Amino acid sequence: MDAILRTVNLTKTYRSGGVEVHALRGVDAEFERGKLTAVIGASGSGKSTLLHLLGGIDSEAEGNVLLENDDLLQMNDSRLAKMRSAKIGFVFQFFHLIPELTARENILFPFLVRGGKQEAAPVAELSQRLGIEDRLEHYPSMLSGGQQQRVAIARALVNDPDILLCDEPTGNLDSQAAKEVMALLSDLSREDAKTVIIVTHDMGIAQQCGRVIEIADGRIVGS
């Protein structure tokens, strides 16, 4: 197995109102390069916590999160930020586009933050592939939900990451837009060798993925 990302005995515990909450309990998981994987579970099962640790959004945990054998949990904030910028793209349910920026500017934003030159960014290629080339000068409020999610996917891809982490990426879309977004994510894993990990509570979405990991009460209960 060509695992680009894996966890070893990953455990996350926090306190809420004086009560100790076990969000993850000794999770061992591997994610292959170029594969589309769904992580499924009920609300509160630990799936979003797992995604945040896989992406370095959260690094307060025990165990290991190994990205090509570099442990994200052992990195300082500066190195972790560089790793995220270079290797990982994020797609969320609620898009998180900046309303004052056009679609083009939203796509460019992480590229420019990383220090790239605007003319070198693959905006034209991405927008054409994602079917939003005629929407680049539109603001988010002028776009449909499906178009906003396509802009968000383009933004996640502009730095050409190896890994795409998606938190309920179809949860705010109608059925047709959800189908189109899933087809795009599948193409990215198959044709571009991106490792795509989707957190969802929707078994219909999960069944479109090559592999499904089920989490309950912070533990993997099926794969």
Write down the pTM of the prediction: 0.90
**Cα 15 from Cα 175, distance rounded (Å):** 38
Residue-range domain boundaries for the chain: 35-59+77-222
Closest CA to 196 of 2, 39, 41, 28: 39
Task: Please give the pLDDT value at position 117.
Answer: 67
Mean pLDDT of the chain: 89
Task: Note the pLDDT tens digit of each residue in 48-94.
Answer: 999 999 999 888 899 999 998 899 999 999 999 888 888 999 988 88
Considering only 1-10, 63-72, 135-144, which range has the smallest mean pLDDT? 1-10
Structure tokens at 153: 């996917």
Percentage with pLDDT > 90 across the chain: 52
Kindly tell me if the per-residue pLDDT of 118 is higher than 80: no
Tell me the CATH class for 35-59+77-222.
Answer: alpha beta
Burial 78-95 (b: 16+ CB within 10 A, else e): eebeebbbebbbbbbbeb
Confidence of residue 120 (pLDDT cuts 50, 70, 90): low
pLDDT at position 116: 64
Output the pLDDT for position 133.
Answer: 92
With contact defined as beta carbons under 8 Å apart, do 10 and 50 qualify? yes
Q: What's the whole-number mean pLDDT along residues 166-170?
A: 89
- Higher pLDDT pick, 216 / 117: 216
pLDDT at 138: 96
Residues 6+ apart with CB under 8 A from 169: 91, 92, 93, 149, 153, 181, 185, 198, 200
